[in-house]
Amino acid sequence: MPITKDDVENIAMLARLELTDEETEAFTRQLGSILDYIDKLDELDTADVPRISPCSTASGDTEYARRDDVVRPGLGQRLATENAPDAEAGYFKVPKVIGG
């Protein structure tokens, strides 16, 4: 399924991006190329490729992935918001993005 200019415009709207016509055309071509490449990868026969573990290192050491969780103290609100550009009462203030 090729990507269309309407698809890119819809994605941009959902991401709250304002794209120029040139950017829309460029992203349409670029995303189309990416999807074409993925289609080519889907043609590969991977039946005999062994599964890999995402929790292993080059040396094969997986001990770090099985360690016990350790509870540690957090930063706390004051320290966490200390360098925030806009904080109020220990919380991060951000612009409203839902609704009007």
Reported residue count of the chain is 100
100, pLDDT greater than 60: no
Decide yes or no: CATH 1.10.287.130 for domain 5-42. no
Enter the DSSP assignment of 33.
Answer: H
Q: Please give the average per-residue pLDDT across 68-89, as a whole number.
A: 88
Question: What's the rounded Cα separation, in Å, for the pair 9 and 27?
Answer: 10
Average pLDDT over the chain, rounded to whole? Answer: 86
Q: Which position has the higher pLDDT, 62 or 75? A: 75
Residue 8, classified by CB atoms within 10 Å of its CB into exposed (0-12), middle (13-18) or buried (19+), is: buried
What phi and psi, each to the nearest 5 degrees, are found at residue 91? -120, 155
Which tens digit of pLDDT belongs to each residue from 12-28? 999 999 999 999 999 99
For residue 31, the SS3 value is helix
